[in-house]
């Protein structure tokens, strides 16, 4: 009964909060744009703006695709291991695909369990490295609060509990279904937290990076033609 509830009504609630919250945040972000205040030509040169936005987004999505990534190669590697695992594992995990098939009849592509385990371990290892970095580097430690560590823990919790769910399935002394329930609930909590915390950057990245791309793309192009009449 409890399993049916957390994979049924509660899961629906998590999705509603997740998607509804993201839509509200995105709409508010776009409505808050002001070309005069931001000094960004959002509409005046759509071709230049789109080219600049896409270029900025793509360069920062590719490992070592930007100067910033190449400047810190070790952190870049950890960053991409962390984020690739965060995205690929939950989207294409076989267990999640089975749930989609059972609940809504959706056939979904999956990755192998070996790859899923590798990505999960990568996420957990990267989490430890990110936490150590926040503690070890003064320039990072000074802007880090308990809130940041909490979000880091919240993010990795579904992966750690999911890994333990698989591992404990072969342990006769394990508490029955404990880690499975912890995995599902932590995942749903993470989904509902994303629109209302710094984790919003899963979508906010594309907005802010696109905005910067528009700014630099248009201004650099117009500068060659004599600049803006500002």
- Return the CATH number at 51: 1.20.950
Burial class (CB in 10 A: 0-12, 13-18, 19+), 142: exposed
Report if residue 11 sits inside a domain. yes
Q: What is the dihedral of CA 17, 20, 23, 25, to 10 degrees?
A: -50
Report if residue 32 sits inside a domain. yes
Q: How far apart are CA 99 and CA 108, in angstroms?
A: 10
Give start and end residues of each alpha helix (H) in 113-169: 113-136, 138-141, 146-168
Report if residue 230 sits inside a domain. no
Instruction: Check whether 61 has a pLDDT greater than 90.
Output: no
Answer yes or no: pTM beyond 0.75.
Answer: yes
Identify the weakest region by mean pLDDT among 25-34, 97-106, 116-125, 215-224.
215-224
- Report the run of H or E that residue 178 belongs to, with start and end: helix 178-193
Report if residue 229 sits inside a domain. no
Q: How far apart are CA 16 and CA 23, in angstroms?
A: 10
Report if residue 83 sits inside a domain. yes
pLDDT confidence of residue 189: 97
Report if residue 12 sits inside a domain. yes
Report if residue 228 sits inside a domain. no
User: What is the average pLDDT across 98-125?
Assistant: 90
Instruction: Check whether 72 has a pLDDT greater than 90.
Output: no
pLDDT confidence of residue 26: 95
| Of 121, 97, 94, the residue nearest 108 (C-alpha) | 97
Domain of 215?
2-223
Q: How far apart are CA 110 and CA 95, in angstroms?
A: 9
Q: How many domains does the chain have?
A: 1
């Amino acid at each position: 009964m409890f399993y049916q509830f957390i994979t049924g009504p509660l899961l629906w609630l998590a999705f509603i909060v997740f998607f509804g919250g993201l839509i509200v945040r995105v709409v508010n972000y776009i409505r808050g744009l002001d070309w005069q205040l931001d000094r960004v030509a959002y509409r005046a040169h759509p071709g230049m703006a789109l080219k600049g936005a896409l270029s900025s987004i793509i360069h920062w999505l590719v490992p070592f695709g930007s100067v910033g990534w190449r400047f810190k190669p070790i952190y870049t590697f950890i960053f991409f291991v962390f984020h690739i695992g965060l995205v690929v594992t939950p989207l294409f995990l076989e267990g999640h695909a089975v749930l989609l098939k059972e609940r809504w009849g959706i056939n979904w592509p999956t990755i192998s369990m070996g790859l899923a385990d590798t990505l999960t371990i990568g996420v957990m290892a990267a989490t430890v490295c990110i936490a150590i970095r926040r503690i070890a580097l003064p320039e990072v430690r000074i802007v880090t609060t308990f809130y940041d560590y909490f979000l880091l823990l919240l993010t990795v919790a579904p992966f750690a509990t999911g890994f333990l769910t698989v591992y404990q399935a072969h342990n006769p002394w394990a508490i029955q279904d404990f880690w499975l329930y912890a995995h599902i609930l932590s995942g749903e909590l993470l989904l509902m937290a994303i629109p209302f915390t710094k984790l919003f950057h899963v979508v906010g990245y594309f907005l802010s990076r696109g905005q910067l791309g528009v700014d630099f793309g248009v201004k650099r192009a117009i500068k060659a033609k004599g600049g803006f009449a500002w």
